[in-house]
């Protein structure tokens, strides 16, 4: 294959690919504030970047053009953020999937770079499954829990903090405004079950928030603990496991 990005192929090349493989990745991200030090497109860029790296390693799946906007209502207090309604994202994900399935893809993987998209993508996945019978899965940083547990020090790391700053240092360091990396002032609810963060486990409830109300910079976490080394470790493991998943799907 000259490329595993569907957008760079001709229709005849896609037709040829479908003779032997039937998996497609749909990256989904957002255009939203990521504090004063990370780009607005971090989630979309990372989802697409990871998808392509894994597809190139597995050599058995194509990557569709990304969905660059997501459900970012909670970040609208910061300039540059664009949000879709959950219903719009769900419908977009559903319609893109159905089109690809009509052409012969039988396995859909949403590579989701933004947690706010998860409910809409899960709803779309259920609709696609019910109506087409296709296999649909969603990865939302869910393949590397052991990395998060071992290397991420911040328990409340949720947005533009230690993890995302590390991964951005590793895949496009020149876009990190290093002199503006600082620990935010956070105002979190004094409820032991209202937890937030990639590492937070145990008894907890989901709770709605507006980021501007709980963080002075838009960051939820501690980016001062980030490092390029942590980011490189995270990417290596994520690419390896996503490629492994693609190979397993190819054998289904």
Residue 201 in this model has a pLDDT that exceeds 70? no
DSSP state of 190: S
Residue 202 in this model has a pLDDT that exceeds 70? no
State how far the Cα of 61 lies from the Cα of 249, in Å rounded to an integer. Answer: 9
pLDDT in tens, 207-251: 788 999 999 999 999 999 999 999 999 999 999 999 999 999 999
Domain spans, the chain: 6-251
**pLDDT band at residue 199 under the 50/70/90 scheme:** low
Q: Which CATH superfamily is domain 6-251 in?
A: Creatininase (3.40.50.10310)
pLDDT in tens, 89-124: 999 999 999 999 999 999 999 999 999 999 999 999
**What pLDDT shows up at residue 247?**
98
Residue 92: C-alpha distances to residues 4, 45, 49, 80 (Å): 22, 19, 21, 22
State how far the Cα of 80 lies from the Cα of 82, in Å rounded to an integer. Answer: 6
pTM to 2 decimals? 0.95
Q: What is the mean pLDDT of the chain?
A: 95
pLDDT in tens, 42-89: 999 999 999 999 999 999 999 999 999 999 999 999 999 999 999 999
CB-CB neighbours of 120 under 10 Å: 24
């Amino acid at each position: 294959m000259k490329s595993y990005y569907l957008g760079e192929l001709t229709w005849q090349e896609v037709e040829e690919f479908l003779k032997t493989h039937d998996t497609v990745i749909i990256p989904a991200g957002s255009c939203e504030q990521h504090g004063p030090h990370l780009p607005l497109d971090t989630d979309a860029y990372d989802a697409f970047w990871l998808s392509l790296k894994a597809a190139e390693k597995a050599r058995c799946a194509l990557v569709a053009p990304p969905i660059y906007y997501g459900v970012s209502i909670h970040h609208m207090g910061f300039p540059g953020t664009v949000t879709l309604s959950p219903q719009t994202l769900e419908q977009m994900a559903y319609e893109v999937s159905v089109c690809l399935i009509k052409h012969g893809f039988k396995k859909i993987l949403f590579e989701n770079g933004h947690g706010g998209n998860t409910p809409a993508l899960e709803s779309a996945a259920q609709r696609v499954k019910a109506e087409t019978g296709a296999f649909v899965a969603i990865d939302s940083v869910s393949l590397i829990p052991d990395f998060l547990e071992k290397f991420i020090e911040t328990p409340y790391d949720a947005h533009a903090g230690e993890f995302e700053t590390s991964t951005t240092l590793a895949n496009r360091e020149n876009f990190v405004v290093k002199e503006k990396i600082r620990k935010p002032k956070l105002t979190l609810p004094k409820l032991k079950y209202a937890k937030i963060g990639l590492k937070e486990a145990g008894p907890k409830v989901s709770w709605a928030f507006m980021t501007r109300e709980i963080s002075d910079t838009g960051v939820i976490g501690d980016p001062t603990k980030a490092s390029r080394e942590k980011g490189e470790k995270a990417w290596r493991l994520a690419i390896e496991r996503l490629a492994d998943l693609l190979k397993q799907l190819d054998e289904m």
